[in-house]
Amino acid sequence: MEARQPGGFTIAAFAVAVTLGGANFLAVRFSNRELPPIWGAGMRFALAAALFIVIARLLRLRRPRGRLLVLTVVYGLLSFAISYALMYWALVRVTAGVATVVMAVVPLVTLLLATAQRLERLTGRAVVGSVLALAGIVWMTVGPQDVDLPLAPLVAMLLAALSIGESVIVSKRVAGNHPAMTNAVGMSTGAIALLAMSAIAGEQWVIPRQTEVVWSVLYLVTLGSVGLFILTLLVIRHWTASATSYMFVLFPVVTMLLGAWLADEPISFQGVVGAALVMAGVWFGALSRAARDVRRVPVGEAPRVRQPARAARGAQTNSPRR
């Protein structure tokens, strides 16, 4: 793979995806008032998958086959089924703030997984940026308070972060396929798995009736799912997996700002300081010019040492003509 810096479109898509993802947290709060959690997630992704299927049919897109189909199914299971089931189970036992802290490790986990799978190089800048963003989330949501975090929910959230990190990497491997078809297959797979989990858990499958719940579900299905995951796959196509995963530490910042605007939730000094640390970490680790100038490593190959310009010109001069 050649080194590729994200252009203005990619950064703009990243910003819009972060905004949509941050708004999802508010919408899920409303939907959970009436819908059982796993049923709500399964219904959301089933409806969004139906929209993706319609889009794929209208565009006459080819369905993935062979290895690409297997990777797309794995993407769906990791991104929509396993991660959401673990997060919803943990959120019944811990506060959203504590869960957000644990999920803030996603960029660091993604970076380590991408390095282990020889997709990226482990750079000090990326590690420092991830840790700085994590510190901002910890300060913003926990601060000097005492935190009660039982072992089982902690393990569940860490496994969810691991699942999300690997799903970002798998989506990188299928990024050449059209985002609508990738999500049509992947989201359908995840929705089926979530609905099966909901049935096994004995949740009651109810249709939303409250006005705010209906509007929140409509948002989650359209912009919160179709819009968000199309933009995410477009970003991952032109950027590294670890840089794309910084979305997950920016979501709480957007949620805090939208909560203050739409729900009149107060913004504390602690939240402002935490948000500043998060944005500094994202800038240092992903958005700055030095962070974006990173060569991705092809799978199965060792990183190549960059030759000086003079040596490279000499090699080209001495090479035989074809």
User: The tokens of 167 are what?
Assistant: 């799903």
Token match 């059982």: residue? 36
pLDDT of residue 232: 92
Q: What are the boundaries of each domain within the chain?
A: 8-300
CA 217, 222, 227, 232 dihedral sign is positive
Q: How far apart are CA 70 and CA 197, in angstroms?
A: 21
CA atoms within 13 A on the CB side of 115: 15
pLDDT of residue 294: 52
Could you state, in chain order, the average pLDDT of each consecutive group of 10 residues for the chain (322 residues)?
A: 65 92 83 88 95 95 93 95 85 66 76 83 78 75 56 82 91 90 96 95 93 93 94 89 81 76 69 73 70 49 43 45 41
Q: How far apart are CA 75 and CA 194, in angstroms?
A: 14
Q: Name which of 288, 248, 267 is nearest 18 in CA terms.
A: 248
pLDDT of residue 301: 41
What values do phi and psi take at 209, rounded to 5?
-125, -30
pLDDT of residue 195: 96
pLDDT of residue 53: 96
Q: How far apart are CA 307 and CA 169, in angstroms?
A: 29
CA atoms within 13 A on the CB side of 146: 1
Contact of 181 with 64, CB cutoff 8 Å: yes
Q: Name which of 274, 269, 239, 12 is nearest 119 in CA terms.
A: 239
Contact of 186 with 69, CB cutoff 8 Å: no
Contact of 161 with 109, CB cutoff 8 Å: yes
pLDDT of residue 148: 56
Q: What is the DSSP string of 131-182?
A: HHHHHHHHHHHTTTS-----HHHHHHHHHHHHHHHHHHHHHHHTTTS-HHHH
pLDDT (tens digit, 9 = 90+) per residue, 42-82? 999 999 999 999 999 999 999 999 999 999 999 999 999 99
pLDDT of residue 143: 55
CA 189 to chain centre: 18
Name the pTM for this structure: 0.76
